Amino acid sequence: MTIALYERIWMWGATGLIVMFLGAIFVTAIAQAVEPPGHLETVDPTTILSHPEFGKPQIVTNADGSVVVPIVAGMFSFTPDPIEVPANVRVTFRLTSPDVIHGFQVVGTNANAMAIPGYVTQFTATFATPGEYTIACNEYCGTLHHAMVGKLTVK
Ligand code: CUA
């Protein structure tokens, strides 16, 4: 069987790309310890209501002005709601769920993560523009998934 030169070039090119992409995954995962934002810290989803941080989630302001926002995303609302944060400071969101997987997306920004029962998902964001933002659940979580919205106020 003969394979045309052009076909061989494309085959080797495609193989090279695959090796490069897989290599990039391994290099970043091993050398730079890149991990997903969740799965590092666990929390018992059955005792969320009496949990010191997530039982009655309170926004905490650090000495440097940055804020930590613990959030419980449960069927079919976010707690606290509305969430009020200052503009131009580091906001650390800490998310968990007492029931099923929910999404947490601050519409119009790049703040977007999953709330996973049993785990704390943590990520940071900074909001430069004051205003009211809609928080949407973007993981199908049940019959009222479409109604699971919250509000983020940036002052
Ligand atoms: Cu919660 Cu969809």
For 38-63, what is each residue's pLDDT tens digit?
Answer: 557 889 999 988 999 999 999 999 99
Please report the pLDDT score of residue 30 as a whole number. 84
CA angle 143–114–137, rounded 5-degree value:
35
Atom of ligand 1 nearest to the CA of 148: 1
pTM of the model: 0.76
Distance in angstroms (rounded) separating the CA atoms of residues 123 and 35: 12
For 104-129, what is each residue's pLDDT tens digit?
Answer: 999 999 999 999 999 999 999 999 99
Residue 114, ligand 1, Cβ within 6 A: no
CA of 138 to the centre of ligand 1 (A): 6
* 32 vs 100, more confident: 100
Q: What is the mean pLDDT of the chain?
A: 92
CA angle 145–148–149, rounded 5-degree value:
145
